[in-house]
Each structure stands twice: as structure tokens, then as C-alpha cells.
Amino acid sequence: MSAGPLFSEHWHRVRDLRPSLAADVVSELHSYRGSNTYVLQRRSGGKLYRLDARSHALVMRLDGTRSVTDIWEESLARFGESAPGQPELMALLAELHAAGLIVVDQRLDAEYLFSRGDEERRSTRRRRWMNPLFMTFPLVDPDPWLERCRPLAERLFSRRLAAAWLALVVVALCAVLPHGSALRQAIADADLLAPRELLLLALCWVVMKAVHEFAHALALKRYGCEVREMGIALMVLLPIPYVNASAAGILPDKRQRMVINAAGIVAELAIAAVAALVWLNVSGVVADLALRLMLIGGLSTLLFNANPLLRFDGYYLLADWLEIPELESRGKRHTLAMLRRLVFGETNAAASGSASSAARDAPEPLDARESAWLIGHCLSATVYRIMLMFGIALFLSKRYFFLGKVLAIWVLFALIVLPFWRYATFIRSEVRETRYRPLWRSVALGVPLLLCFMLVPLPASRTVTGVVWLPENAILRAASDCEVTRVVATPGGEVRRGSEILRCENEELDTERLSLLARLAEVEARIAAAGLDDALATERLRAERALLEERLRRVEAEVADQVLVAAYDGQFVVDPDAALAGRFFRQGAEAAVILPKHERVVRAALPERHVRELDDDRFRSVALRLASDPEGHTWSSSVRRLSPVASRTAVSAALTRKGGGRLENQGGGTDRELREAAFDVELDWPEGIAAAPVGSHVSVRIERRAETLLQRSLLALQRLLLGEVQGR
């Protein structure tokens, strides 16, 4: 007999039922990796139901004239030991009824047998709300008017149009590649979270996705399928139209199914190709719209539609190509089954309960390759989905704080907390059912993993882009508003440390100095005249003299600072296009530069959310690697100075995307304007290393105290949920 029990104590509830298949149920024979499987579906649409040959033979006997007992007894006679037991047959009937594939001739015992249908509907609603990536809301049946588009579908999905599409994409790709830098610059200049940009993106998004879904619908009609559901979907909270393309699953030819699944991707790439050609040849608003269509048709296709790790078009393409139906759901069940075997020592799917649809819908993989695909896809899809949604939440929170945090909390609950809660519930039920016999397996596996997660520290570091820069003292700045009266050193020549470079003059300082000298002379005279006769007046004059002398010392120091001297041995560098003599400089303005022979510093910039890594107790060291060093040596350094406030202007364009760095530029701004404020960090130049060209790149690695995965997770969660609040 089958692996499950033969008899059921609830058999009396269904034995006299005479179920029959619904009138519009169709059945097709599919071949998956050399194994035959029957696929059932109602013509009106709905979930696909896959059966092996034995279950299909049973279902085909549901004609409304045979009772469930008759069908089971015939199965025993026909299949012998491989015949299903009563629990398995009851589970099969319940699932067929829940899917709407069978009808019966009398009122059913809904509390027991077919309560599964209500649970299935509740589960569908839960899945709709628990998937932040894609939520659907059905509205209309578009099949009547799509039927009139069948001639158009037959002309579009032909070899001639496929060749034309391929030529269009290749031409557009060849045209855009030489302009890659201009394209990157245009994307960097676009502030995608600005209201105007969001409006453009929303307009392009809706148009693109409408064409995408219409392409799916036409492909379905091309191969004779019905399209019974159309509505609105929320894709990452953005509304788009959608059509239910599940009818493609009944087609026995996998190439036809793959064409239907790829239709939307093909349509988006065609629009993106046309938009690329338009962008290269126009300007203004039209070019802006074309750029957004390129981004949506390329980026969203890569991250979402064509990505097999998400349950969109790319996923179904991969499943059909591999001939592994229900790749995601079977992968989850197979991974869970492997975990159950590892933890609880079970050797078959029926070890923990009655046989059910798991044996039909999720059969054991045919070979090790299929098992690897199922487990690999399950794990990678789970990790990718979590990372993608948290990335989107962080991206949104930079501009729309509340929306980003709500999405982050939603993702945390739906994709992490809820699955872990279900797993914990499953472990508890399994331990209770097996009376704690395999508990040591769970402890032996779980405790070491938990200890590693909580106690084993892992290296922590962050790498940012730096730039070789001059020490602050190498830049000669005007001490006050002044005019250059004499250039002592030769521009472009070598100078020695301490030698005079420029002489400046500030008439106000000179005038104030002469005035202070005159007032001091007057006060000295008044003190001498007062003598010893008026002690009180003498004391007051002496106090005034002390104030004047202090003020005179400060003014003379400022006058002395008008002589700019070299702080290092090096080359006197000036702007060759502007004469220094007679030039006026504001206080703090850069007048000239001494290019030292050996002295350098490294300037870097840290965004506000990362600056704490330099001043908390987790900071350990800083290491540098010069881009000009072909051997890639690493040199130790230290923090010389950290700016007290963040700025949206980088010290050098080399730190930004436009200059080859990592900081994002502000759209429409200069090469040094940043999208996110950053703190300026000055690092010491390592000893024993030759001076590098000013402006060249340096890789800066900030080493931090090793942290466990638990600590990192808590810090990441704190940064996500509270970081922006603290930053404000």
C-alpha cells in the first residue's frame, strides 16, 4: 500500500458521496525531466493542479455515478500495494474541491472535509497582504475584447517580428555603449526622489507596465488560452495593471509557455531600445522621458521581471526551462523536508502524519541536480527578497522617512519575524508529536548555530574612497582682507621652509596701528603729567594704557601675518592666469600653494550615517592603499581631523561619482555637490612612503572591533528604524 495509513476513522463522512469533475475542467499531459505529469485546470482560470498517473486515473473516474467507496475499491483492485489509502484519497478530494475542480451531489460535511477550501481562501488573502513586492486586486474579465485581438497576436508573435525585435535591441545597445559615461552622468544628475522625477517615473512606469501586461495577454491569445482576470497590482507600492496568465500553465509545450512568460520582458526591452535611440538624438523633456523609460525597461526588468529569484516572469521562465514546476513552493517544501530529516531523523514525507498532497505536489526530486536547484533557489530567493526590500526601504527613507520606515517594518514582519514564528511553531509541534525523542538532534544542530550567531565575532570594516591632498599649512591663505603689494618668491620656483612668499597690506590695520600708537603716546603723557598728586587718575590711565597695549599687540600680530611664509620645503605654485601683485583677497581666501616635496595628507568623506564609526568605542584603526601603487601595499594611518559638521560640498570632485569616487552627486549640481551631507575626514600620510600625486585616489579601510552577527543585526535594525530620527 501507499506510505500512509490504509484506513481513516472519518471515512464514513465521504464514502457515499458521488463527486464529479466540473464541466469545464481540462487535463493535459506534461513531461517534466522525463516524467509524465497530468495538469488540471478549469477553462475559466484558476490554480493549476498537477497529478501523477495514479492520482489522475482516480480523478478521471469522478463521473457523478460512482461513490467514493466504489472508486477506492476499484483503485485497490487496479494498483494493489501502490493504491492510496483512505486518508490520502480524502485529502485529494478536499483539495480538488477547494480548487473548484469537482462538484458533488449532496451537502458536504464542511466542518471536516471541505473546511480546507475556506482555509485556502484565507491563505490566499494572507499571501496577498504578506507579500510587499506584489499585491493583486482583480477587477474585470477581459477575455471577450481580447478575443477580437487574436489576429493581431498571431502577427506579433512570429519569427519575422522576433528577428526585428532582436535587431532593434542590438542596434540600440551598440548605439548606447559608446555614450556610457554620458548615460551615467545623466542618471547621476537625476534626483529620482524629487517630486518632478517621481511624477515622470510614475507616468512612464504605468505606461510601461500596461504594455507589459497587454503583451502577456496577446501571447496567451496567440496560443488559444483564455484570460479571465484583469485588475490592479501594487508592485513595491506602485499601482500597475495586471492580467492573470496562469492559463499558460495548461499548455503542454514548454516553449509556448516560455514565450508567454517572456512576452512582457520582450515588450519592455523593445520600448527601452526605442527610448535609448530617442535619448541619443533629442533633448529637453522628451529626452528626460526617454531616459526614464530606459531605466524602467532596463533596471526594473533586471531587478524584478527577469529576475528568477522573484516570482515574476523570470521565475516562470526558469521553471519551464528546468522543467521543474512550482519551483518556489516545491523548493520550500523540499528544504523543509531536508531540515526535518536532519533535525528529526525522518526518512520519508509521511513520517510525521497522513499522506497528503505533498506527495503529489512536491514529489521527491528525481536526481541530485533537481534537489540542488530546489534548495539553492529557495535559499537564494529568500535572502535576495529580504535584501531587496530592505534596500528599497533605505532608499525611500532618505527622502520619505515615514514611508521607508513603514515598508521596513512590514518587510521585517512579513519576511523575517513571521517565517521564524512559523518555524518555531512547527518545531514545537514536531517535538510534541514525536514525544521529544529526536529533540537532541534539534539541540545538536540549533545550539551551535545560535552560539555562532550570538558569540562568534567576525571582522568588521568599511572601505571608502579618499584623495591625496595637501596639508592645510601648505595652502597660503589671507589672514585678513588685504592686497598683495609684493611677490617675494619666484612663482614656480623652489622655496625653503620659513622663507617669505608674499607681502600683503591692509590699510585699515595700518591705520588702526598708527592710531593706537598715537593714543598710547597721549596716555603716557597724561600719566607723566598726573604724577603723584592724583593717584586715582593715574591708576585709571594705567589701566587704559594696558588695554591699548594689548590691542596694539593683536594688531601688530595681524600686520605681521600679512607676510605669508612657507611652512614646508617645496615648489611655489600660483594660478598662471592671474597676476598676484595688486590682487585683493578676502580673509581666509587661498592666495597661493606650496607643493611640499614629501608632506601629504589623505582627505575622505563619510556620510552622516557612518561617521559614528570613527568616534565610538568600536573604532580600531585606519589603513590606506594607494591607487598608484601597482603592488597594492597597505599602510597604517590615523585620523588627524574630523570636521564638526557635515557638508553637502566635497573637498574634491574625485570623491564623488563624477570623479570616480563613491559619493552620490546632487542632481543638477556641480561636480562637488553631494546628494547626502558628509563629514570631512583628514588622515595622516603614512611614514616611509613617497609622496603621491595630489588628487589621486586612495582606498581607505576603516577597521572596527569584531562583532557578532547578532550585534550587526541589531545595529542595522537600529540604523534602519532610528538612524534618520537621530540624524535629525
Our measurement of the distance from residue 524's CA atom to the centroid of its chain's CA atoms, rounded to an integer in Å, reads: 76
Domain match, 196 and 217 both: yes
Alpha carbon distance 474, 492 (integer Å): 15
Domain match, 584 and 613 both: no
The whole-number pLDDT of residue 105 equals: 58
The whole-number pLDDT of residue 215 equals: 93
Q: Which residues pair with 604 in a beta bridge?
A: 466, 681
Determine the structural domain holding residue 543 and report its residue range. 472-590
**111 secondary structure, DSSP code:** T
The whole-number pLDDT of residue 443 equals: 62
Residue 464 domain-assigned? no
Count CB-CB contacts under 10 A for residue 279.
25
Domain match, 152 and 297 both: yes
The whole-number pLDDT of residue 533 equals: 66
The whole-number pLDDT of residue 358 equals: 39
Count CB-CB contacts under 10 A for residue 653.
19
The whole-number pLDDT of residue 265 equals: 92
Whichever domain contains 49, its CATH number is 3.90.930
Domain match, 155 and 290 both: yes
Contact 591, 663 (CB under 8 A): no
Domain match, 715 and 667 both: yes
Residue 595 domain-assigned? no
Residue 465 domain-assigned? no
Domain match, 416 and 561 both: no
First to last CA, the chain: 68
The whole-number pLDDT of residue 1 equals: 46
Residue 64 domain-assigned? yes
**565 secondary structure, DSSP code:** E
Q: Which of 409, 425, 455 is the last residue of a domain?
A: 455
Q: Which of 306, 322, 338 is the last residue of a domain?
A: 322
Q: Which residues pair with 42 in a beta bridge?
A: 25
Number of domains in the chain: 5
The whole-number pLDDT of residue 395 equals: 65
Domain match, 438 and 577 both: no
Alpha carbon distance 592, 475 (integer Å): 6
Domain match, 189 and 317 both: yes
Question: 280 by DSSP, 3-state: which?
Answer: helix
The whole-number pLDDT of residue 128 equals: 52
Contact 92, 55 (CB under 8 A): yes
Count CB-CB contacts under 10 A for residue 714.
12
Alpha carbon distance 641, 606 (integer Å): 13
The whole-number pLDDT of residue 355 equals: 36
Residue where the block lists cell 516560455? 258
Residue 727 domain-assigned? no
Residue-wise DSSP of 651-698: S-GGGBGGGTSSBPBPTTS-TTEEEEEEEEEEEEPPTT-PPPPTT-EE
Q: Which residues pair with 482 in a beta bridge?
A: 585
Alpha carbon distance 202, 200 (integer Å): 5
pLDDT tens-digit profile of 148-196? 888 898 888 888 999 999 999 999 999 998 888 788 777 767 666 667 7
From the list 629, 606, 630, the residue with the least C-alpha distance to 701 is: 606
Whichever domain contains 687, its CATH number is 2.40.30
Domain match, 150 and 175 both: yes
The whole-number pLDDT of residue 451 equals: 76
Residue 148 domain-assigned? yes
Residue 728 domain-assigned? no
Domain match, 126 and 153 both: no
Domain match, 173 and 110 both: no
Cell representation of residue 267? 515588450
Cell representation of residue 307? 529576475
Q: How many residues does the chain have?
A: 728
The whole-number pLDDT of residue 100 equals: 76
Domain match, 216 and 289 both: yes
Radius of gyration of the chain (CA): 38
Alpha carbon distance 178, 171 (integer Å): 12
The whole-number pLDDT of residue 710 equals: 76
Angle, CA of 398, 399 and 402, to the nearest 5°: 90
What residues contact 698, with CB distance under 8 A and at least 6 apart?
465, 466, 467, 468, 602, 604, 624, 625, 626, 627, 692
Buried-exposed string 610-641: b where 16+ CB fall within 10 A, e elsewhere: ebebbeeebeeebbbbbbebeeeeebebebee
Question: 509 by DSSP, 3-state: which?
Answer: helix
The whole-number pLDDT of residue 452 equals: 78
Q: 505 phi and psi, to 5 degrees? A: -135, 135
pLDDT tens-digit profile of 308-365? 988 888 999 999 999 888 888 888 888 888 877 776 665 544 333 333 443 344 445 5
Alpha carbon distance 283, 722 (integer Å): 42
Parts of the chain with a pLDDT under 70: 1-4, 44-46, 105-134, 188, 190-194, 235-238, 343-366, 392-408, 411-412, 414-416, 422-424, 426-446, 531-533, 577-578, 615-617, 667-669, 716-728
Q: Which of 84, 104, 130 is the last residue of a domain?
A: 130
Residue 220 domain-assigned? yes
